[in-house]
Amino acid sequence: MINKATAILYYIKEPTTPVYDYYIDVNGNYVYLDEGETHEWETGQIDSDGTTHTVGDDDWDSKTIELEWKNQDKIEIASRILRDMGVELTRQEVQQYAQQLITEQ
């Protein structure tokens, strides 16, 4: 059995400069926005440009630009990284876990 503490992922970035847009909620938590997502402001939230907002400010259109990968490709990459780290899960199990995390958010 091989015990690996780290994993290395090599990939070609497309787009070359991905952007993960976010806002900071009133509790100081970073909330990342999906590509194309729109956010309605609550008082005290801060956008990724550093502006503090109040209720009624114009909605925020996410500036996120994702890497051009299909969801099944992301699951495959996660499965391979986990396998190399000694975590034996099938792609289906990884996908079910990812769906569970999304549902809990």
pTM assigned to the model: 0.52
Bigger pLDDT: 15 or 70? 70
Using 50, 70 and 90 to split pLDDT, how confident is the model at 3? Answer: low
Tell me the range of 8-17, 32-41, 85-94 where mean pLDDT is highest.
32-41
- Is pLDDT above 70 for 69? yes
Instruction: Give the CA distances from residue 93 to residues 11, 34, 65, 105, in Å, rounded to whole numbers and listed in that order.
Output: 24, 23, 27, 19
Place of tokens 């495959």: 76
Q: What does the alpha-carbon distance between residue 100 and residue 37 come to, in Å, rounded to a whole number?
A: 20
